Homo-oligomer: A and B are copies of this chain.
Amino acid sequence: MTAVKDSVHDYISLDPLAQDLVDTPEFQRLRHIKQLSTVRLVYPSANHTRFEHSLGVYHLASQALSHLGIDGDRADHLRAAALLHDIGHGPYGHQTEHIIMRHTGLHHDEIEWLLTDPEAGHPNGEPATQTVRDTLVDHGLDPERVAAHVRGEGELGQLVSGELDVDRMDYLVRDAHHTGVPYGTIDTGRLVRELRYSAGELVLDEGNVQTAESLLLARGLMNGIVYRHHVSRIAGAMLERASERLIARDDTVDIATFQRMADHDLLVALREHVPELGRRIERRDLYKRAVWADLADVPVDVVDCSHEDERAAEREIADAAGIDPIEVVVDVPSRPSLKESNARVVVGGVVQRLEEASELVGALRDAERAQWRLGVYTKREHVDRVADAARDVLGVRLGRTE
C-alpha cells in the first residue's frame, strides 16, 4: 500500500483502487479547488484544498469501516465514494454551487453524470488517458452504486453523507488546523470508534451524547468565527455575482465549461472578463457592509426571497442610490438549519435523535438564528447612500454595521 503524508492524519494508506482514482484528471483537479474558498482572505493560512480533504475523508471512512467490521465489495464501493465525494464541485466549491444548481439542476453531490457518461471526465474538453469512470469499471466497481453512496443513499452511504458522516469530521479538524482556530478540533478517533449500525441506521454507541454534541458545537463555533465571517461572505458574494456575469456573456464560458473549471481558471477569467469585480477579489479590495441586519429586523418575505428577487433588489437599490448595479451586492443567506440535530445516539439502550437526547440542540438552533445576518455590500464611498436605499427597498429595520 502506498501512503501519502497528510498534515492532519499523518500517513494515509491508499489501496490500489484509490491510487488509480487519485491519478485521474477529475481527482487531480481537486488540487486546484480550495476547501474554504474565500475564507483565506480572513485566515491567510487556510489554503488547503479539496484534494487533501478528500484523502482525509477516505482515510476516516477506512477507519470507520474497519471498526464496524465491514470489508470486501461493500467497503470498496464506500471507500471509493468517500474519495470521490467532492469531484462534482465547481470552482471555489460551495461558492458557485447555487449558480451551477440554477443552470443544471444538480448539487455537487449528484455526480452520476460524471461517473457514467464516458465523455464527462474530460475537463476543458481534452482527452484523458483514464477517467474516474474507466478506473471504477476496470476495478470491477459499479459507478452508479458509488454515485448513490455519494448522495448519502443506503445504509453505508450515511457514512459519507449523513448526520454522522466522516466528511464533516475531516473538514472540521482540517479547517481548524489550517485556519489556526481551535474550535473544529473534535475527537475523530473517538467518533469513528463509537459508530454502530442499529436497524440500518448509523448511530453513536452508548455514552456518547457529549461526543455527538461536540460535533454540533464545533460546527456552531466554526460557523460564526470562520465559515460565515463577514469578510469571507463579502468576497464570496462578489465572486458569485462576477461568475454570473461571466456566464451571462455570450462569448466566454458556458455552464458546462464553468462547472469543470478550477479556482485558478475562474480567477483569471474573472479578471479578464469581469475586471470591476475580478481584480478586487484577486487583491482583496473588497466592498464594505452598508447593511448588516438581524433576522428580527428583516421582513419575512425578504428572508425567503428568490435569487431573482435578490438580483432585482440590487438593481433597485443601485438605481435609488444612483450607482451602477455591479456596485451593489445583496446577500440573503438561507434560513439556518441544523442537520446534526438528527444524529442518532444510543441512550440507556435506546436509539434517540440527538435533539431528544441533548439539551443543547434547541439552544444551538436559537444561536444559529441569532447569528443570521442579511448583508448589503458596496464600495466604501457609497456605503451611506446604499444603506439608505437598501432600507427603503428591502424594508430592513435597523441595518447596523457591527
Contact across chains for A359 and B363 when beta carbons are under 8 A apart: yes
- Interface residues in A93-151 by Cβ distance below 8 A to B read 124, 126, 129
Q: Which residue of B lies closest to A266 (CB)?
A: B264
A44 lies within 8 A of chain B by Cβ? yes
Contact across chains for A47 and B49 when beta carbons are under 8 A apart: yes
Contact across chains for B284 and A7 when beta carbons are under 8 A apart: no
Which applies to chain A's interface (DSSP): helix, strand, loop or mixed? helix
A190 lies within 8 A of chain B by Cβ? yes
Q: Which residue of B lies closest to A12 (CB)?
A: B44
For the complex formed, measure the closest distance between the CB of A335 and the CB atoms of chain B, giving whole angstroms: 16
A370 lies within 8 A of chain B by Cβ? yes
- A397 to B336, alpha carbons, bound, how many Å? 40
Q: Name the contact of A31 in the complex, choosing from B7, B40, B189 (C-beta under 8 A).
A: B40
- A185 to B7, alpha carbons, bound, how many Å? 13
Number of copies: 4
Contact across chains for A193 and B40 when beta carbons are under 8 A apart: no
Are A180 and B5 CB-contacts (below 8 A) given A221-B213, A402-B207? Answer: yes
- A225 to B265, alpha carbons, bound, how many Å? 31
- Interface residues in A138-190 by Cβ distance below 8 A to B read 177-183, 185-187, 189-190
Total interface residues in chain A, CB < 8 Å = 75
Contact across chains for A182 and B181 when beta carbons are under 8 A apart: no
Q: Name the contact of A51 in the complex, choosing from B44, B267, B400, B402 (C-beta under 8 A).
A: B44
- A96 to B324, alpha carbons, bound, how many Å? 41
Listed in ascending order, the chain A residues whose CB lies under 8 Å from chain B are 3-8, 10-11, 23, 25, 28-29, 31-32, 34, 40-41, 43-49, 51-52, 55, 124, 126, 129, 177-183, 185-187, 189-190, 193, 206-207, 210, 213-214, 217, 221, 224-225, 263-265, 267-268, 271, 279, 282-285, 348, 358-360, 362-364, 366-367, 370, 400, 402
A-B residue pairs, 4 tightest by C-beta: A363-B363, A264-B264, A7-B45, A359-B366
